[in-house]
Amino acid sequence: MQTIENVTTPKPDDIIIDVRHPDEAEQRPLVCPNNQIITVPFFNLGKCSGELDKQQSYLLYCDKGIMSRLHADTLSNQGFHKIGVFTPATKVR
């Protein structure tokens, strides 16, 4: 099993997947100007994972890191090798 690392500063080519509930993401949007952010709620990620490029680098994000860690492990088990958990140095408001 691959080790999933926590990343506080994403690389420019990392795509951040915000797995929070849509209401939560709307109320406190994730802002990371140097990265593409896609919102895929945790309850839809399994259905959407087939549309993701397995060669792309993805960082998963949620407020507490629990759902992002769980889904990062799931994607890793599905053959995604460039997966991490985004833990920003400053808290999303």
Q: What is the CATH number of the domain that holds 53?
A: 3.40.250.10
Do residues 76 and 1 touch, judged by C-beta distance below 8 A? yes
Query: What digits encode the pLDDT tens for the residues 57-82?
Result: 999 999 998 999 999 999 999 999 99
How many Cα atoms sit within 13 Å of 43 on the Cβ side?
A: 2
Query: What digits encode the pLDDT tens for the residues 20-40?
Result: 999 999 999 999 999 999 999
Do residues 84 and 72 touch, judged by C-beta distance below 8 A? yes
Annotated catalytic residue 62: yes
Of 62, 72, 75, 83, which one is the catalytic site residue? 62
Residue 23: what pLDDT?
Answer: 94
Q: Is the pTM of this model over 0.85?
A: yes
In a domain, 93, yes or no: no
Could you give the C-alpha distances from 63 to 60, 81, 84, 93, in angstroms and in order? 10, 23, 15, 10
Residue 93: what pLDDT?
Answer: 53
In a domain, 33, yes or no: yes
User: Count of domains in the chain?
Assistant: 1
Structure tokens at 37: 């952010």
In a domain, 15, yes or no: yes
